[in-house]
């Protein structure tokens, strides 16, 4: 295997400015999610959220199927989400203790804004479900990037609630799945860089098969 990158050189080292909005490229090169529990107000306004979701939906989408949905959990609905997750918790973990309940409550109340991204592939369509799911992943990524481009912080979290049947049924129709909870807000704590894979570990020149 012939590497095309000689070493694990990274252009941005420690001390770099994260989510640097100086230019489109600097934002992409320094993008960093925040931790939902550290997010504080302000979150995106209603108009900004519309803008974020419009950008999120502008993704590669084979067949123009739009096989994804957004469900906004309004600020006044967090308590109901917490109740739902508390009901789902013992189904997920029959041994759940008070600390687990507290964490579930925290999950539901994190960050000023919350959007649930739902993957809604059309089964039996000539466009494979896999491609439709990939498109949903692109939506999640665009949603985060748009959020960061507006000066906010986003975080894409599944956690166990995404896999709970009860939570699923509260957000999804048949054949749909929760792709994640997208928490949006402002960074309440300094962000820290996260290690990124060195290119030489993930890139290679193709070796064509010889007969």
Ligand X SMILES: Cc1cc2nc3c(=O)[nH]c(=O)nc-3n(C[C@H](O)[C@H](O)[C@H](O)COP(=O)(O)O)c2cc1C
Q: Which residues bind ligand X (CB under 6 A)?
A: 32-33, 155-159, 180, 194
Least gap, CB of 1 to ligand X (angstroms): 26
Q: Between 49 and 183, whose beta carbon lies closer to ligand X?
A: 183
- Residue whose CB is less far from ligand X, 3 or 28: 28
Q: Point out the residue whose Cβ comes nearest to ligand X.
A: 33
DSSP characters for the chain?
---SSSS---SS-TTPPTT-TTSHHHHHHH-----GGGEES----HHHHHHHHHHHT-S--TTS---EEEEEE-GGGHHHHHHHHHHHHHHH-TT--HHHHHHHHHHHH-SSEEEEEEE---TTSSS-HHHHHHHHHHHHHHHHHHHHHTT-EEEEE-TGGGG-HHHHHHH--TT-EEEEEEEEEEESS---------HHHH---------
Q: Give the distance between the most distant pair of CA atoms in the chain.
A: 63
Min dist. Cβ of residue 62 to ligand X (A):
20
Smallest distance, Å, CB 29 to ligand X? Answer: 12
The minimum distance between CB 115 and ligand X, in angstroms, equals: 14
Q: Which is nearer to ligand X, 45 or 102 (CB)?
A: 102
Compute the least distance from the CB of residue 35 to ligand X, in Å: 8
In the complex with ligand X, which residue's Cβ is closer, 33 or 135? 33
The least distance separating ligand X from the CB of residue 32, rounded to whole angstroms, comes to 4
Task: Report the alpha-carbon angle 179-30-20, nearest 5.
Answer: 115
Nearer to ligand X among residue 3 and residue 189 (C-beta): 189
């Amino acid at each position: 295997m012939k590497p095309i990158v000689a070493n694990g050189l990274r252009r941005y080292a420690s001390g770099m400015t994260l989510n640097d909005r100086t230019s489109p490229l600097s934002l992409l090169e320094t993008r960093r999610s925040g931790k939902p529990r550290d997010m504080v107000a302000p979150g995106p306004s209603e108009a900004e959220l519309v803008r974020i979701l419009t950008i999120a939906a502008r993704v590669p989408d084979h067949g123009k199927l739009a096989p994804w949905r957004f469900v906004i959990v309004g600020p006044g609905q967090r308590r109901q989400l917490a109740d739902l997750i508390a009901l789902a918790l013992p189904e997920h973990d029959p041994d759940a203790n008070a600390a687990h309940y507290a964490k579930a409550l925290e999950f539901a109340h994190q960050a000023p804004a919350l959007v649930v991204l739902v993957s809604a592939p059309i089964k039996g369509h000539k466009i494979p479900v896999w491609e439709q799911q990939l498109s949903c992943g692109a939506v999640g990524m665009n949603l985060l990037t748009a959020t960061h481009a507006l000066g906010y912080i986003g975080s894409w979290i599944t956690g166990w609630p995404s896999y709970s049947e009860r939570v699923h049924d509260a957000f999804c129709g048949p054949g749909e799945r929760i792709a994640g909870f997208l928490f949006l807000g402002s960074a309440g704590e300094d962000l820290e860089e996260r290690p990124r894979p060195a290119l030489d570990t993930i890139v290679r020149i193709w070796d064509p098969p010889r007969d």
